[in-house]
Structure 1
Amino acid sequence: MGRVRRPVAVAVAVLGLFSGGLSALGRFLPVVLDRAPSRVGGALAVLNGAGLLISPVAVAVVGYAAGKRVDVSEAYVRIATVFAVLGGAGALAGSAVVTLLVVDDLPRTSGPGVLTTLLFPPLVTGVYFGLTGLAAASVAQFRHT
């Protein structure tokens, strides 16, 4: 009863992939739309709305489902770790794919700014996924006991 099932892990990774992709797309939206940053407000609002549906809403739904099947009091570290690691790795992959598709002069740029831009948002996403998943699993455990 202490294992997080494979469908939950896959769902977390896929949500991380989409979250990372949407986050990277939001950062490069003026480049993608070929508009001034001040003229992409509507498109950015749509992206932010989609991001809200993915995280925290969809992550909480998956965490709630996991909490109904796992004894959270015994597996809380595992739940938080699965959500954080797979969510962060998925976000890193999604962000990397969008970045490589959108930015054509990435190999010419270097330095800590590029690493910060590429690695910090997925790291934050991983922490956020871990906390949200664990909180939702705890709520499910509390409601079903």
Structure 2
Amino acid sequence: MLKWNDVLKLANQGNLTPDKRVAKTEAEWRGLLSDEEYWVTREAGTERAFSSALCSLLEPGIYACRCCDTLLFDASEKFDSRTGWPSFSQPIKPNAIAYRLDSSHGMTRVETTCNACDAHLGHVFPDGPGESGLRYCMNAIALQKK
């Protein structure tokens, strides 16, 4: 189980090796994704809060990366954070997510990306429930429910 200190260590010292790597050209990504999906996942955009039904969807399932189909989260780790974005307390595997310090917008946060294709997913915060204390705050448009 990952905890906040683990996330900070990965963000500062380097991420775990992914099970696979997926690389495409910008043109290939644009051909696969809608304009909004491209903006969020490839340009680190953020969808509007409460713009997706995934926020309150708490049924069983697995969530994968919209761009490369890599499995990222199990719905058993999903919770309603009331933030306007789907939230999870743990990734499906420690090496599914990559982390980097993000000092944009006048604050320091930890950005989360798909470790296989580098798609921007959202951010992780140390204010989640349970033993891990993590809240993976994800853009719903960056995910697909399997």
> Does the alignment reach a TM-score above 0.5?
no
Smaller-chain TM-score bracket: under 0.3
State the TM-score, normalized to the length of structure 2: 0.25
By relative contact order (CA 8 Å, sep 6+), the higher-ranking structure is 1
Between Structure 1 and Structure 2, which shows a larger proportion of strand residues? 2
State the TM-score, normalized to the length of structure 1: 0.25
Structure number, greater radius of gyration:
1
Between Structure 1 and Structure 2, which shows a larger proportion of helix residues? 1
